[in-house]
């Protein structure tokens, strides 16, 4: 009975913490402290605004991934560097949408 219980607990642990090291060690995307200033997706009622909001958040997520790659020493392409330069503009647009 203890073996079955231990096995069941192991299954629970496996679902809570996957054994795949690639997914286990990933950190959540950085938000640059912006998420506390912005409403959750559910707070925006206008479908068009919500669509723009999600699109901008997606772009900011990509920018954060590019910044992480750059910090780890990867040489970025010109278009990737251009995306990073647009971060402030996207943050302003996101804040404007939240108003």
Question: Where do we find the tokens 């642990």?
Answer: 13
Q: Is residue 24 part of a domain?
A: no
Per-residue pLDDT of the chain (99 residues; tens, 9 = 90+): 544 444 444 544 444 444 444 444 444 444 444 544 455 555 677 889 899 999 999 999 999 999 999 999 999 999 999 999 999 999 999 998 877
Residues ≥6 apart with Cβ < 8 Å to 54: 41
Q: Is residue 37 part of a domain?
A: yes
Share in percent of the chain as helix, strand, coil (round to 5): 70, 0, 30
Q: Is residue 17 part of a domain?
A: no
Q: Is residue 34 part of a domain?
A: yes
Structural domain harbouring 46: 29-98
Give me the half-sphere count of Cα atoms (radius 13 Å) on the Cβ side of residue 39: 12
């Amino acid at each position: 009975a203890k073996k079955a219980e231990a096995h069941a607990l192991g299954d629970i642990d496996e679902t809570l913490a996957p054994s795949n090291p690639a997914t286990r060690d990933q950190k959540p995307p950085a938000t640059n402290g912006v998420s506390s200033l912005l409403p959750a997706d559910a707070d925006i009622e206008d479908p068009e605004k919500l669509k723009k909001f999600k699109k901008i958040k997606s772009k900011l997520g990509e920018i954060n991934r590019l910044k992480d790659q750059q910090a780890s020493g990867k040489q970025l392409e010109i278009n990737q560097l251009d995306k990073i330069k647009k971060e402030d503009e996207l943050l302003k647009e996101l804040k404007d949408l939240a108003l």
